[in-house]
Structure 1
């Protein structure tokens, strides 16, 4: 791995938006960690001397002085004029305070009043600064604007204001430096670019371009320390008491200024990042929106290929990759959660596997997801019927999966599982990968769907397994990413019944339908969880069971009730 340069007294950083607010606080903390040289950029004017009348720091007193001065000059002290002068004075004070705090650390700081989107002015003024501070070795791009509105109300001017500060600002800064001399490129992006947020489509686009720019720059200049920090909400002046209340309701944690500034320092020290993008802060949980009364129907078309979904190689039955039923279900769920922001699946019922989707010559060119609204109550719940279908070249419709989904704004808390039993009886001593070896002697699944780490206990009525799903990459997940529902851990949970039927009856089974599935808490990955499978009935052709997925204390993550499985030939599965 290429080693990047560390901070030193000779480092010269240009910091856009760095003289005020959060970026200023981060710069001060960075100077405390390593005094070096900083060129701070901002649009505000730095007043060499303040007007004689501006001797007050109290807001109301200062504004009164401004009004009196305007009157003495025969001008009308309109609220807009007074506020404009007030902002000019207080901005200048904040800039001087930032410069003083940086220089107190032993670092050097210079402020340039310039708009980063003004290419000629930026080039000229930075060239002058470089003459007495030295070549620029680092960029911290913190400049940005907001114009929050729903997309149908945004103007071109709104978009340009937000977009250019981030995107053109970065382009201009990079054009002012020698990229081969650049040792650090730090971009202040946002979780809005990562998760999206209502009213911030332009801000999300601009920040996501910063994220992608970081990846591209790192590929071209591997010796440069590059990171796009996707910041969450900061506890600053922009986050009012009212906004804090909204964040609390949405369970969004706010980053304290001191903590966030220290996180920047940590990122500056972490020069051997495996990625050029990090997320710092809570996910942006979308707010529930008011739903209209009209019941609608949606159709979503998707082309599915083996190449786009590498995990399918780990789910091969009778020699062909087969779409897991759990993935079909999550296509339905994820689509509904996108249609109804702020609502999450609580339960689905009567999930049927009508005709599986096999990735061979019979695979349709496209599949259609139909979503039919049954009922909806604003800020409470949505009920829909979902069906996945396809058409063959002759136009004949094939129905693959169907279910009825219930999405809730607030997910109830489940009572702990009362019949928990994690005692080990040592009847089945196979562990880990051994369940999946020898051509699928017990389980045919590949690494994306492993692993059952051990069977804790087994009886004719119940089996309890310990599981641990190692997260696979986004690329492997393809068109079926893990979100609120994890299709891979759900599939893994059902392996318990496979082991039970093989142990007691030397048979295999495949899912047929599920009477009801409930999700209370996201199932963890990269750490153990437990599956208690209660067998309710067994015939020569089928088996019915309940699956309770929980932690070691019995806290329920999810449960699958009335899961019907079809007995299948082990030889056919491995053929």
Structure 2
């Protein structure tokens, strides 16, 4: 498909992949080494690259192979982010797109456990979108049921998508889904069992830090037995450190100890001795605190990345263990462009290898509780934490996979926000406060953790705990150079918005939909809301008849030099090359919330006046059933027409003709009301031709009543200009078309009446 579209192709074949792709330069890797990868990418000429399309999984990969591919994908991103960013700086489209075939829902529907590591690629792409916002970033997951041709079409649909978001998309050939937070918790499992003193839980990383505090809270709430695993080896405290608690005094004693041992007291060695003492003390304090609240607890010093050592350590307890809390993890924060293979390995080995080591050492059918410490860094992506985000996304997919194969187990992946603890420096905390991100207080966090073991939480397979705000956000900028978007309109013929907008014998695209197309496209291109559109003009409506066959429709976005506004034009090119202008507008960019205008006063109460449905049968309006949202005429004066309205919203093409404050179906009611004014007070059929200014304040209510007010500005025998406002019943203005121009079209009166 890419070759047919004219792309120059470079193919990087991973080790063991025999398939060659014709039409492009071929580069084969013989190993997974970082050095060979860098050399091969340089040979392929990635200094000028506009699209990186990474297939991040393959059929029947073993877990370890999947993790290795996942790490390799991050290294590829490291090498291409620079060239892609350079291409984007010239105003060209530059994209990083990954493709997986889990289940079309990011592995969250539950897949085979060995397939789970591919789910981590979303954490990479979401982090890349934060670190390099000028790039188009997309992590696409397809259902394996798709054929290759259909899958390729869906991949290129996403590659060419005009909208920068969502970054994570799932496709199954019917639905297109994104990932967001549910408003309500999942229903609990029918066979959920409570945590009791008869349970024995393994807690990785449980001797120190946040996980240790959570283990104490769990003991206080439920009294289970706890088996804490950690890397800190417990022994007798060295003589030189006994009785010393002050940091300065301890480090001074460490310096003396090193000198006595004829070892140079470098800052690194002093810190090592100091941390060893502090770490052992913290583990002992954790054990004492847990015993004090009534739980039995033991501590095992073991490296959980060593599967054999982990199995040996757990063997004596194997038949008693009923649950796992995987809280261990390490950080190696660094931008993607500076990531090192060793850092990725360190992060993955603890988070992913550690989990597998512990679970493999235990009888799966005995596990009743499995709780994983994941992070919002994976759920949202987070600057500088690509490998950590990837590992935590794998935990989310693993939880779904384990729950599917072990439905009797309470499995939860806890995506924690940032804790207000020693892990967050004062500088980072200040940044969070400036962005309005609240941290999780320690007492709140440990309470939430303990509550997660209640039977009523047993349905929470993937859960976000704490603030639901991303730790770092993508700063999407508006394009500084012209952009052309292309859309196939043929599929709209089956949408009620078009099928019920027929003039004469042919459906016609509503002007309100064209305005929504422009508004929605600008919002998706710029990442910010649109609040004002000026000089919207209808040059030639889009008629769904034979003339549409073979036509290509394009929307052009041309920003002004100062970046404050953009000219938008919608044109079509016919099969013979004829270009037809259809609509034009100027859109104000960077539109935040606008100051509300004064309320419209003197509005009649809802429910009065006369039934407006007759307007659809007496030739005043031509609109079909799904667009008949004018309910009652509340006032009918030449100086002011007031109509009560309400309509379930239309969002054709997945919302492509709508924006955050605008939807075409309800907006069309403003145009309908203007046509009513012309019929009532100029006795003529008419059509809208232009809008001097559209002010978008708030979205119109979906299916709920609102009021439309039409007030004339000027009129003559063949045309009129009116202001049309959509208001809440209390006069609060939601949407206003100022300077709406109507042109008398007497020849259409019969066509209106025929509808």
TM range, normalised to the smaller chain? 0.7 to 0.9
Query: Contact 1:493/1:549 (CA < 8 Å) preserved in 2?
Result: no
2:262 alignment counterpart: 74
Query: Contact 1:183/1:225 (CA < 8 Å) preserved in 2?
Result: yes
Q: Deviations over 1:126-147 (max 9, x none)?
A: 334435xx1333x333333333
Q: Deviations over 1:273-326 (max 9, x none)?
A: 66633333132275586989x9434556778996xx9x9567753598979553
Structure 2 residue 366 is matched with structure 1 residue 198: no
Say if 1:455 and 1:395 are closer, same or farther in 2 by CA, change over 3 A: same
What does residue range 124-143 of structure 1 map to in structure 2 within 5 Å?
124-130=312-318, 134-137=320-323, 139-143=324-328
Q: TM-score, normalised by structure 2?
A: 0.58
1:49 alignment counterpart: 236
Q: Deviations over 1:369-400 (max 9, x none)?
A: 65444346xxxx76444566676666666777
SS of residue in 1 equivalent to 2:379:
helix
Structure 2: gaps spanning 5 or more residues: 1-188
* Alpha-carbon distance in structure 2 between the residues aligned to 1:508 and 1:228: 61
Say if 1:562 and 1:129 are closer, same or farther in 2 by CA, change over 3 A: farther
What does residue range 31-110 of structure 1 map to in structure 2 within 5 Å?
31-42=219-230, 44-54=231-241, 55-110=243-298
What does residue range 383-532 of structure 1 map to in structure 2 within 5 Å?
383-385=565-567, 403-408=585-590, 411=592, 414-415=595-596, 417-419=598-600, 424-427=605-608, 444-445=625-626, 460=637, 461=640, 463=642, 479-480=654-655, 485=660, 487-488=662-663, 491-492=665-666, 495=669, 498=672, 515-516=692-693
The Cα of 1:468 is off from its aligned counterpart by 10
Which has the greater radius of gyration?
Answer: 2
Q: Deviations over 1:506-544 (max 9, x none)?
A: 999998765545667x76999989666554569888875
Structure 2 residue 437 is matched with structure 1 residue 256: no
1:374 alignment counterpart: 560
2:469 to 283, 290, 305: 283
Q: Deviations over 1:132-173 (max 9, x none)?
A: xx1333x33333333333322223333333344434444444
**Range with bigger deviation, 119-128 or 32-41:** 119-128
2:105 alignment counterpart: none
What does residue range 118-197 of structure 1 map to in structure 2 within 5 Å?
118-130=306-318, 134-137=320-323, 139-197=324-382
What does residue range 320-399 of structure 1 map to in structure 2 within 5 Å?
324-325=513-514, 326=516, 329-337=519-527, 345=530, 347-350=532-535, 371-375=557-561, 383-385=565-567
* Alpha-carbon distance in structure 2 between the residues aligned to 1:277 and 1:396: 53
Query: Contact 1:327/1:487 (CA < 8 Å) preserved in 2?
Result: no
Say if 1:288 and 1:114 are closer, same or farther in 2 by CA, change over 3 A: same
* Alpha-carbon distance in structure 2 between the residues aligned to 1:427 and 1:60: 81
Say if 1:365 and 1:397 are closer, same or farther in 2 by CA, change over 3 A: closer
**Range with bigger deviation, 490-499 or 121-130:** 490-499
Query: Contact 1:18/1:142 (CA < 8 Å) preserved in 2?
Result: yes
Query: Contact 1:12/1:37 (CA < 8 Å) preserved in 2?
Result: yes
Q: Deviations over 1:468-527 (max 9, x none)?
A: 989x9xxx9985499982555x7546546646756995999998765545667x769999
**Range with bigger deviation, 232-241 or 412-421:** 412-421
Q: Deviations over 1:343-370 (max 9, x none)?
A: 6555454456776697999688997665
* Alpha-carbon distance in structure 1 between the residues aligned to 2:545 and 2:220: 58
1:340 alignment counterpart: none
Query: Contact 2:648/2:703 (CA < 8 Å) preserved in 1?
Result: yes
**Aligned residues between the structures:** 543
Query: Contact 2:335/2:385 (CA < 8 Å) preserved in 1?
Result: yes
Say if 1:56 and 1:272 are closer, same or farther in 2 by CA, change over 3 A: closer
Say if 1:395 and 1:493 are closer, same or farther in 2 by CA, change over 3 A: closer
SS of residue in 1 equivalent to 2:263:
coil
Query: Contact 2:604/2:635 (CA < 8 Å) preserved in 1?
Result: no
2:80 alignment counterpart: none
Query: Contact 1:417/1:550 (CA < 8 Å) preserved in 2?
Result: no
Structure 1: gaps spanning 5 or more residues: 338-342
The Cα of 1:45 is off from its aligned counterpart by 0.9
* Alpha-carbon distance in structure 2 between the residues aligned to 1:530 and 1:106: 61
**Range with bigger deviation, 347-356 or 499-508:** 499-508
Say if 1:303 and 1:504 are closer, same or farther in 2 by CA, change over 3 A: closer
SS of residue in 1 equivalent to 2:223:
coil
What does residue range 553-568 of structure 1 map to in structure 2 within 5 Å?
554=732, 561=738
Say if 1:563 and 1:541 are closer, same or farther in 2 by CA, change over 3 A: closer
The Cα of 1:121 is off from its aligned counterpart by 2.6
**CA RMSD between the two structures:** 5.2
The Cα of 1:72 is off from its aligned counterpart by 1.7
Say if 1:142 and 1:425 are closer, same or farther in 2 by CA, change over 3 A: same
2:500 to 290, 305, 317: 317
SS of residue in 1 equivalent to 2:599:
coil
**Range with bigger deviation, 204-213 or 48-57:** 204-213
Say if 1:501 and 1:60 are closer, same or farther in 2 by CA, change over 3 A: farther
* Alpha-carbon distance in structure 2 between the residues aligned to 1:191 and 1:272: 19
SS of residue in 1 equivalent to 2:250:
helix
The Cα of 1:123 is off from its aligned counterpart by 2.8
* Alpha-carbon distance in structure 2 between the residues aligned to 1:91 and 1:485: 51
The Cα of 1:236 is off from its aligned counterpart by 1.8
* Alpha-carbon distance in structure 1 between the residues aligned to 2:344 and 2:731: 50
The Cα of 1:93 is off from its aligned counterpart by 2.2
Query: Contact 2:599/2:731 (CA < 8 Å) preserved in 1?
Result: no
SS of residue in 2 equivalent to 1:24:
helix
Say if 1:467 and 1:394 are closer, same or farther in 2 by CA, change over 3 A: same
